[in-house]
Amino acid sequence: MPVPTPSAAPGPPVRLRDLLRPPAAPADPRVLTGHPARTPRRHTLAVPDPVSGIRSSVAVWEYTPVPVAAPGSPGAPEGDAAAAPLVFVHGFRGDHHGLALLADALPERAAAQAPTLPGAARAWSLQLPDGERELIVVRSGIGLVAAASALATVLAQVRPSAVVSAGTTGGLGRQVEVGDVCASATLVYTDADATAFGYARGQTPGQPETFAGDAALLERLEQVGQEALRGATASSGSARLRVGQMLAGNSFVTAANVADTREVFPAALSTDMESTALAQVAAGAGVPFVSVRGVSDLCGPEAGQDFHIAVEEAAARSAAVVLALLS
């Protein structure tokens, strides 16, 4: 009698979000940035974990520097004409996280020394379109502590005119849709709870109940943000710029705790893991701050709502609004 062959172990379940196709990128990125696109070379490196030693595959994109006009010719920069190479390292989700748009739109800043940051955090110096102002792009890493430590280190070395947090976020408000962009009128910690000592939920003892987004930055966003978002990508025409309360904490808000979070923070639009910590550090230093983030997924979608788009699409929309804000 033949021995039955044991069936193969079932693989991981296929999630609906894995079957969704992200919106197609525009054929010509100049419609997003107004600048010619540079095609990078992709390298794959095996980087060891500093604790376990286990190697992980990391993607690195190498951009060829923009040609510099010959000294004395029209458009040639004055002084030191040699621009330092710019290296972009993507975030921890997605494959490029929207940084390609900034690489295409903003040239490297000649002879600039970017701040030195601890651990895996990195910073790069870019030139804003007016040719005078410097933009320091910081990749802090995920989480409140990583974000706060990176920004505090930057502020110990430079004095910026403003700090802007960009990237992606989870939609929390019932009116928020994936693909929208949220900007911070106020910011609160999702999981801070010292109510036993008379503090408000979301308030850290010794700190204000909420941190405020800068009024001048928010006014500028109201003027240019919606138009920039409408033209950000081929599919962003119906997306909305929403200004209101944003949350940040050490835990994801999921279907298991979204009801409690909405009950405690009924006006909150979104939640991420960095914005409020950055707002606290900026407030302590007296530097204007605003968070501008694209909604990539919904924490508690209603029936019939789309609940996820590609993180690259959400980040591209955030990048377009930030570029308009800084222009």
Lowest model confidence (mean pLDDT) among 52-66, 168-182, 213-227, 234-248 = 52-66
Average pLDDT over residues 214-239: 90
Ranges of H-type helices in the chain: 16-19, 30-33, 99-105, 144-155, 215-230, 258-264, 275-285, 311-326
pLDDT tens track for 241-283: 999 999 999 888 877 788 888 999 999 999 999 999 999 999 9
Average pLDDT over residues 168-172: 90
pLDDT tens track for 278-299: 999 999 999 899 999 999 888 8
H/E element, 41: strand 41-48
pLDDT tens track for 313-322: 888 888 889 8
The share of the chain scoring above pLDDT 70, in percent, equals: 70
Given a cut of 70, is residue 82 above it in pLDDT?
A: no
> pLDDT higher for 234 or 188?
188
Averaged pLDDT score across all residues of the chain: 77
CA distance 96 to 234: 18
Residue 48 token pair: 């060891």
Domains plus CATH for the chain? Answer: 35-68+77-326 (3.40.50.1580)
> pLDDT higher for 152 or 1?
152
Interhelix angle 144-155/275-285, rounded to 10 degrees, is 30
| Beta bridge partner(s), residue 87 | 62
CA distance 51 to 207: 34
pLDDT tens track for 2-52: 555 555 566 666 555 455 555 555 666 666 556 666 677 788 878 777 667
200, 241, 247: which is closest to 221 by C-alpha? 241
> pLDDT higher for 16 or 206?
206
Cβ-in-10-Å burial (0-12, 13-18, 19+) of 264 comes to middle
- The whole-number pLDDT of residue 40 equals 74
Given a cut of 60, is residue 160 above it in pLDDT?
A: yes
The share of the chain scoring above pLDDT 90, in percent, equals: 28
Lowest model confidence (mean pLDDT) among 30-34, 178-182, 197-201 = 30-34
CA distance 229 to 232: 5
Q: In Å, how far are 120, 131, 272, 297, 326 from 111, measured between CA atoms?
A: 23, 14, 35, 40, 21
Amino acid making up residue 93: R
Interhelix angle 215-230/311-326, rounded to 10 degrees, is 120
Q: What angle do CA 28, 33, 36 make, to 5 degrees?
A: 55
Q: In Å, how far are 26, 219, 286, 303, 321 from 33, measured between CA atoms?
A: 11, 22, 31, 36, 11
